[in-house]
Structure 1
Amino acid sequence: MDIGKQIKTLRLGKALTQTGMAEILGVSKSTMSNYERNISTPDPDTLRKIASYFDVTVDYLFNDMTDSPRDIIKEGTAYHPDKALNKDEWNAISYYRRLSDEQKDFIKGQMIQLYQKSSSSNKG
């Protein structure tokens, strides 16, 4: 369990400095540095702030998934943890989750159209 590595990876994924992340969390830069170096662990409220900001669960922060992402893909009611997402897929999902319902509907429509177009061109 390397929560510091998880926090740092998420922070760098958003191109945030330690100072910027510290401001978001309402802690000092040195406290932020201590979190990332596993010198100290964020308190429960700070953990919730981190998870909320990065749109992940608190549980995700405590799991070392940075070396090989093992995101769970839900298909119907079955979970498939063996189907890892690559970085582009993870980013696409992360951005999608931040959209409004209207924007999500638009994106889903575009994806369906692209899929149908590629399916019909592959048949011909």
Structure 2
Amino acid sequence: MSDKLNEIPISEIIGNTIAELRKSTGMTQREFSKTVGVSESSIAHYEQGITVPSADMLLKYANYFDVNIDYLFGRCRCKVKYSDLNSVLADHMTISDMINVISKLSSKQKNYLYETIILLENEKNKY
């Protein structure tokens, strides 16, 4: 994890992430507060980094937005829906399985894989 991330208070990281996720749905703080069953002022305090939601509320937000709880803490910036990580892809492998395999590759192999993915992405955009 970067040193810069460690300098930011966890309340700010969580608050900014909740605000980002809420805004991505187009909801106001009022609408979101009704959806998750807390006061509008609680949502405002969370988003401003004044208070941190309880563990139960963090889990509720992670489930609602379908993200990993680490995403709320700024530890993972993966935009893949959390529920999709266990989706079966090619040869009965899940995204999680693939991540585990990739994490064990050498830097050279990871770079090769990255270049291959970019080539595939460019090919997809041609059609």
| TM-score of the two chains, using structure 1 as the length reference | 0.55
Structure 1: 4+ residue segments shifted above 4 A: 69-76, 80-83
Structure 1: distance between partners of 2:78 and 2:59: 21
> How far apart are the structure 2 equivalents of 1:70 and 1:23?
27
Provide, for residues 62-113 of structure 1, a one-character-per-residue CA deviation record: whole Å limited to 9, x for no partner: 0166xxx555789853325886xxxxxxxxxxxxxxxxxxxxxxxxxxxxxx
State the partner residue of 1:104: none
Pair 37,64 (structure 1): closer, same or farther in 2 beyond 3 Å: farther
Higher share of residues assigned helix: 2
7, 10, 27: which one pairs with 1:16?
27
1:33-89 per-position Cα deviation (integer Å, ceiling 9, x unaligned): 000001001111111111111001211100166xxx555789853325886xxxxxx
Q: 1:57 aligned to 2:56? A: no
Count of paired positions? 82
RMSD of aligned residue pairs (Cα, Å): 2.9
Consecutive unaligned residues of structure 1, counting only runs of 5 or more, are 84-114, 119-124
Higher strand share: 1
In structure 2, list runs of 5 or more residues that go unmatched: 1-9, 104-109, 115-123
CA gap 1:31/1:12 in 2 versus in 1, 3 angstroms: same
Question: Could you tell me how far apart the structure 2 residues matched to 1:71 and 1:16 are?
Answer: 19
| In structure 1, C-alpha distance between the alignment counterparts of 2:40 and 2:98, rounded to whole Å | 42
1:66-85 correspondence runs (5 A): 69-71=77-79, 76=93, 77-79=97-99
CA distance in 1 between counterparts of 2:79 and 2:57 reads 23
What fraction of aligned residue pairs are identical, expressed as a percent?
A: 33
Hey, what's the Cα distance between the residues in 2 that align with 1:71 and 1:39? 26
